[in-house]
Chain A
Amino acid sequence: KAGVTQTPRYLIKTRGQQVTLSCSPISGHRSVSWYQQTPGQGLQFLFEYFSETQRNKGNFPGRFSGRQFSNSRSEMNVSTLELGDSALYLCASSKLDSNYGYTFGSGTRLTVV
């Protein structure tokens, strides 16, 4: 059974650019959440999607956005990148209509230079 797949695994971007990260959840999982992880802040919740609808949103600026497709795959986009956006971006999926028992991907390591 395939796990949560995140692409790309590593990414280097320049300030001011935009980036799109992709997440393919476990088959049958309809809930997808995104997190930003930095050494100083730990895991910070970005947003959650369930059945193509954003159900929850964390306290991030509007430069961070996401969407979910009918096959439950999800993308997140960050526009006008800043140096502080450098982080590990994690995607997690869940089968239940709940926020618990998540399966995480290995993440996308984004470096902004």
Chain B
Amino acid sequence: LAKTTQPISMDSYEGQEVNITCSHNNIATNDYITWYQQFPSQGPRFIIQGYKTKVTNEVASLFIPADRKSSTLSLPRVSLSDTAVYYCLVGDEGGNNRKLIWGLGTSLAVNP
């Protein structure tokens, strides 16, 4: 089963760029990498998804190297409202039973 590894926590300040890296050594060929954001007592919210190279949307960028064994979520110019837990999701296939492996999440604290 593919496992993901993320830093447990990170600290930053308003206006800085934050990069959170997720390791996923056993990623399958057809799997995508997806990042979610979660605030307390709410369900996770989709941020961005990618397969390789770089993906950018209005809130974040996702960098994926050629070997796809890791990915980096980049949040430009964070604000206090970006304080949340960020999850890296990578699919895993085992025959017809594809399990979803979530990282434990990275708790990001943005300070004034």
A and B part of one assembly:
yes
Interface check A16, CB cutoff 8 A:
no
Q: A99-B91, A100-B32, A101-B34 are in contact. Are A42 and B102 (CB under 8 A)?
A: yes
A106 on the B face (CB < 8 A): yes
Contact call B42/A103, Cβ cutoff below 8 A: no
Q: Are A43 and B102 in contact (CB under 8 A)?
A: yes
Rounded to whole Å, the gap between the CB of B108 and the closest CB of chain A is 15
- The yes or no answer to B49 lying at the interface (CB within 8 A) is yes
Report the minimal beta-carbon distance from A44 to chain B, rounded to whole angstroms.
8
Whether the pair B43, A56 counts as a contact (CB closer than 8 A) is no
Docked-complex contact B43 and A42, CB < 8 angstroms: no
Cα of A43 to Cα of B36 in the assembled complex, Å: 12
Chain B residues positioned under 8 Å from A33 (CB to CB):
100
Q: In this complex, which of B34, B43, B87 has the most chain A Cβ atoms within 10 angstroms of its Cβ? A: B43
Closest CB of chain A to B1's CB: distance in Å?
10
How many residues of B are counted as interface, with CB atoms below 8 angstroms from the partner's CB atoms? 21
Across the interface, A101 reaches (CB within 8 A) one of B42, B43, B46, B101, namely: B46
Q: Does A92 contact B (CB under 8 A)?
A: yes
Q: Which residues of B contact A107 (CB under 8 A)?
A: 41-43
B97, CB-defined interface residue at 8 Å: yes
B99 within 8 A of A: yes
Task: Give B58-71 as 1s and 0s: 1 = Cβ < 8 Å from A's Cβ atoms.
Answer: 00000000000000
B68: min CB distance to chain A, Å? 15
Q: A100-B32, A101-B34 are in contact. Are A43 and B98 (CB under 8 A)?
A: no
A32-73 vs B, CB cutoff 8 Å, 1 = contact: the mask equals: 010000000011010010000001111000000000000000
> B20 — which chain A residues lie within 8 A by C-beta?
none
Residue interface bits B96-112, CB-to-A below 8 A is 1, else 0: 01111111110000000
State whether A88 touches B102 (Cβ < 8 A).
Answer: no
Contact present for B100 and A104 (CB under 8 Å): no
**Is B45 on the interface with A (CB-CB < 8 A)?**
yes
